[in-house]
């Protein structure tokens, strides 16, 4: 069964024009449109399938500063504050709670890495606690084991991926924006070199500003405009168990398996970082750029199958705007979970936390996690195409930092002081090599 996801209705009709058109109803596109609509900007959000049906409902739900790369940490910190406000602003529950994240380890090198990050975090005012063996064992008592140490990050938290983004999408409509599901953007129209419209399967919207927040589809879309955006996606598998286990931590990471309490009282279980690399034409095109990333992560990666080729999101094909495009042929990227890994994850989780033996697997799914070569998102206006803003490549961290990213994009568009410094995210940085610059975590 795929990841659970709340249904929302779309706006009744597509506008003929809008100040801003946002393409992609994942966490990044939705929060961009949300903060624009709340400032009175006329904004239309286009989603080829259902809001949040791709990565943004398939994730663990962690909203963390812990172990974030220095370039991304300010956005993570601001996002936690924004997550807190969304519930007040919309009057709806996103499931966000600052429950704290617990990391336990038996490995000295891992603990040393966390201590190094703690020292860095202190310099930027972020609190995280290294745990002694005793403290780790006490916090991890549900495992019934002794631990060498750990970390607890009290100001981090989780939101509920099955409803958080749909709730924010309803917030767009409540603030005067429009949301259009099952409406793919086929391409962009330019006049005198700058954006003048978005061609959708249901007609054209006149606009001068477009945000491309298409997740794993962004590079193939950019390719239509001659924009070279190095992006690759890997397939991660995850499962959920039904409610019934008691006394477990809300969010726990260990090297063998991780667990997150879900909104319904069940738990999501996964092996951190473990993924399959499904070869695609786009991956071959950008393979050189991704050598440093894959070299750093190779222990967690395994060769996949032709699943990615079949899905069509990483095609190098050019398409025409008056005919059906790959985005309409594949409304929801729903790759097959790796069932061997699902079984292994469940087995490891039950060994670690015997209480889980009282539960059964309720859902198992996979998601393509889209990444840039240096593991930091690409956000900013593309040089040479005024009005075209790229916001993709969130590299496995986008759910937590989605509100901050959306706020920053809305700031840039409206000419406000950006909530965080946008320079680390400039897409132009990807024109130079990423050797030595890959995000640590």
Site residues, ligand FAD (CB under 6 A): 23-29, 46-49, 53-56, 58-62, 184-185, 213-217, 221, 236, 238, 327, 367, 369, 392, 394, 396-400
Indicate the residue whose CB is closest to ligand FAD.
26
CB of 213 to ligand FAD, least distance (A): 5
Q: How far apart are CA 266 and CA 246, in angstroms?
A: 10
d(CA 335, CA 332): 9
Find the shortest distance in angstroms from Cβ 202 to ligand FAD: 11
Nearer to ligand FAD, 56 or 137 (CB): 56
Question: Burial, 309: exposed, middle or buried (Cβ in 10 Å; 0-12, 13-18, 19+)?
Answer: middle
Nearest residue (CB) to ligand FAD, 332 versus 433: 332
Task: For ligand FAD, give the closer residue by CB, 137 or 205.
Answer: 205
CA distance 49 to 394: 20
Closest CB to ligand FAD among 17 and 134? 17
Structural contact between residues 145 and 94, judged by C-beta atoms closer than 8 angstroms: no
**Smallest distance from ligand FAD to CB 175, Å:** 19
Cβ closest to ligand FAD, residue 245 vs residue 392:
392
Closer residue to ligand FAD, CB minimum distance, 144 or 154: 154
* Whole-number CA gyration radius for the chain: 21
Q: Which two tokens stand for residue 203?
A: 């007609």
Q: Report, in Å, the least distance between residue 125 CB and ligand FAD.
A: 21
**CA distance linking residue 150 with residue 111, whole number of Å:** 7
The distance of closest approach from Cβ of residue 215 to ligand FAD in the complex, given in angstroms and rounded to an integer, is 3
The residue (of 73 and 369) whose beta carbon lies closer to ligand FAD is 369
Distance in Å, CB of 326 to ligand FAD, minimum: 9
Please choose, from the candidates 159, 202, 261, the residue with its C-alpha nearest in 3D space to the C-alpha of residue 46. Answer: 202
- Of 137 and 251, CB closest to ligand FAD: 251
Q: Which residues pair with 261 in a beta bridge?
A: 267
Measured from the Cβ of residue 144, the count of other Cβ atoms closer than 10 Å reads 11
- Nearer to ligand FAD by C-beta: 56 or 372? 56
Q: How far does CA 250 lie from the centroid of its chain?
A: 20
List the structure tokens of 195.
């954006």
Give the C-alpha separation, 276 to 204, whole Å: 38
Report the alpha-carbon distance of residue 172 to residue 264 in Å, rounded.
25
Beta strands in 223-305 (DSSP E): 232-241, 251-253, 258-261, 267-270, 275-277, 301-303
As measured in angstroms, the least distance from the Cβ of 226 to ligand FAD is 17
Nearer to ligand FAD, 137 or 410 (CB): 410
The minimum distance between CB 193 and ligand FAD, in angstroms, equals 21
CB of 167 to ligand FAD, least distance (A): 15
In the complex, the smallest distance separating the C-beta of residue 134 from ligand FAD, rounded to whole angstroms, is 28
User: Alpha carbon of 64 to those of 78, 394, 431: distances in Å?
Assistant: 11, 14, 29
CA distance 400 to 170: 19
Rounded alpha-carbon distances, angstroms, from residue 371 to 64, 368, 391: 18, 9, 12
> Residue 4: how many CB atoms within 10 A of its CB?
18
């Amino acid at each position: 069964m795929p990841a659970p996801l709340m249904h929302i209705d779309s706006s009744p009709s597509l506008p003929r024009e809008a100040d801003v058109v946002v393409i992609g109803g994942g966490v990044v596109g939705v929060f961009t449109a949300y903060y624009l609509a709340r400032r009175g900007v006329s904004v239309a959000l286009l989603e080829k399938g259902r809001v949040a049906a791709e990565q943004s409902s398939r994730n663990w739900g962690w909203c963390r500063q812990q172990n974030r790369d220095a370039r991304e940490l300010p956005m993570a910190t601001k996002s936690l504050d924004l997550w807190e406000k969304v519930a007040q602003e919309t009057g709806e529950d996103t499931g966000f709670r600052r429950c704290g994240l617990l990391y336990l380890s038996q490995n000295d090198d891992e603990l040393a890495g966390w201590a190094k990050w703690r020292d860095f975090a202190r310099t930027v005012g972020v609190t995280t606690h290294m745990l002694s063996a005793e403290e780790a064992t006490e916090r991890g008592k549900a495992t019934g084991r002794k631990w060498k140490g750990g970390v607890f990050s009290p100001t981090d938290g989780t939101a509920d991926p099955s409803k958080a983004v749909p709730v924010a999408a309803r917030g767009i409509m409540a603030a005067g924006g429009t949301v259009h599901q099952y409406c793919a953007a086929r391409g962009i129209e330019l006049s005198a070199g700058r954006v003048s419209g978005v061609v959708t399967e249901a007609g054209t919207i006149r606009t001068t500003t477009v945000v491309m927040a298409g997740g794993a589809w962004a590079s193939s879309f950019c390719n239509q405009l001659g924009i070279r955006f190095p992006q690759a996606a890997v397939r991660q598998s995850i499962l959920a168990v039904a409610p019934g286990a008691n006394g477990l931590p809300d969010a726990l990471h260990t090297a063998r398996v991780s667990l997150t309490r879900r909104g319904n009282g069940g738990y999501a279980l996964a092996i951190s970082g473990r993924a399959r690399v499904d070869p695609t034409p786009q991956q071959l095109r950008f393979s050189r750029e991704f050598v440093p990333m894959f070299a750093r992560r190779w222990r967690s990666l395994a060769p996949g199958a032709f699943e990615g080729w079949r899905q069509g999101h990483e095609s190098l094909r050019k398409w025409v705007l008056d005919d059906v495009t790959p985005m309409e042929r594949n409304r929801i990227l729903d790759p097959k979970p790796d069932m061997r890994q699902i079984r292994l994850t469940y087995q490891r989780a039950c060994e670690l936390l015997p209480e889980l033996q009282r539960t059964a697997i309720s859902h198992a799914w996979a998601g393509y996690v889209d990444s840039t070569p240096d593991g930091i998102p690409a956000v900013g206006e593309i040089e040479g195409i005024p009005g075209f803003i790229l916001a993709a490549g969130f590299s496995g961290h986008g759910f937590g930092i989605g509100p901050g990213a959306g706020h920053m994009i809305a700031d840039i568009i409206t000419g406000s002081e950006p909530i965080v410094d946008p320079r680390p995210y400039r897409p132009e940085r990807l024109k130079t090599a990423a050797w030595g610059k890959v995000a640590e975590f």
